[in-house]
């Protein structure tokens, strides 16, 4: 579709995961959420809540609270380590990321109806040679990607269940966000909504 117009460094693999792979991933995510419950992050300083809920798996997890954005080894509410990254996600990374070390963090974002994600760049990592690998599950969403400056043109891309998107190289620090969801466009999740997984390398290999 708009593939050829995607910014350099972005790799978009529509429907990379088939229906069974998507269902298997959802079951694994549900297990993770039992151990590491979804929480509502808040913006640094203002304390304004995000409209998405989050959790993580992997040795490190991304969190946001009044003190700032950071990676940490423990769930902010349970104090326990995050559950491990499931094998199918590690395999996805080794097959696609073109990076010699495994991901250290998998951020799990859960979008209910009306949830969105403001324009941001993923820059809390200490290793930008690795891409960020994203997996979308559930309802469609309008993703928006621009350049490395906040101002400037952006391109919308409708992400669907099973889509994989990698932002590496020139696009690793590009601004991006989720404008909106399209409720009722997928039957993958019992109660609708969308899950986005982002696999990240945090520390140098």
Interacting residues toward ligand MD6 by CB under 6 A: 109, 117, 122, 132, 134, 143, 165, 167, 176, 178, 196, 198
Nearer to Fe ion, 104 or 122 (CB): 122
Alpha carbons 203 and 20: distance in angstroms, whole number? 32
Using CB distances below 5 to 8 A depending on partner kind, what does residue 56 bind out of ligand MD6, Fe ion, none? none
Using CB distances below 5 to 8 A depending on partner kind, what does residue 22 bind out of ligand MD6, Fe ion, none? none
DSSP structural state of residue 34: H
Longest CA pairwise span in the chain (Å): 45
Nearer to Fe ion, 122 or 140 (CB): 122
Quote the tokens at residue 90. 């590690």
For Fe ion, the binding residue among 12, 107, 122, 195 (CB under 5 A) is: 122
Nearer to Fe ion, 109 or 161 (CB): 109
Quote the tokens at residue 99. 């990076």
Rounded-to-10 torsion of CA 147, 9, 97, 40: 20
Rounded-to-10 torsion of CA 30, 31, 33, 37: 140
Nearest to 105 by CA among 64, 56, 70: 56
Q: Does 125 bind Fe ion (CB under 5 A)?
A: no
Nearer to ligand MD6, 65 or 158 (CB): 158
Using CB distances below 5 to 8 A depending on partner kind, what does residue 167 bind out of ligand MD6, Fe ion, none? ligand MD6
Sites of contact with Fe ion (CB under 5 A): 122
């Amino acid at each position: 579709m708009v593939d050829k117009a995607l910014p350099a460094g972005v790799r978009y693999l529509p429907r990379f995961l088939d229906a069974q792979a998507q269902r298997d991933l959802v079951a694994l995510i549900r297990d993770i959420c039992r151990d590491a419950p979804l929480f509502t992050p808040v913006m640094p300083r203002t304390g304004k809540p995000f409209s998405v809920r989050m959790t993580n798996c992997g040795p490190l997890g991304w969190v946001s609270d009044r003190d700032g954005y950071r990676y940490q080894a423990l769930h902010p509410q349970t104090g326990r380590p995050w559950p491990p990254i499931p094998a199918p996600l590690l395999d996805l990374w080794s097959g696609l990321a073109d990076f010699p070390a495994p991901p250290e963090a998998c951020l799990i974002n859960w979008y209910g109806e009306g949830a969105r994600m403001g324009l941001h760049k993923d820059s809390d990592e200490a290793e930008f040679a690795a891409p960020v690998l994203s997996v979308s599950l559930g309802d469609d969403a309008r993703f928006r990607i621009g350049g490395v400056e906040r101002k400037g043109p952006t391109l919308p891309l409708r992400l669907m269940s099973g889509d994989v998107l990698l932002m590496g190289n020139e696009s690793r620090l590009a601004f991006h966000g989720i404008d909106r969801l399209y409720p009722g466009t997928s039957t993958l999740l019992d109660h609708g909504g969308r899950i986005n997984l982002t696999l990240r390398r945090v520390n140098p290999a």
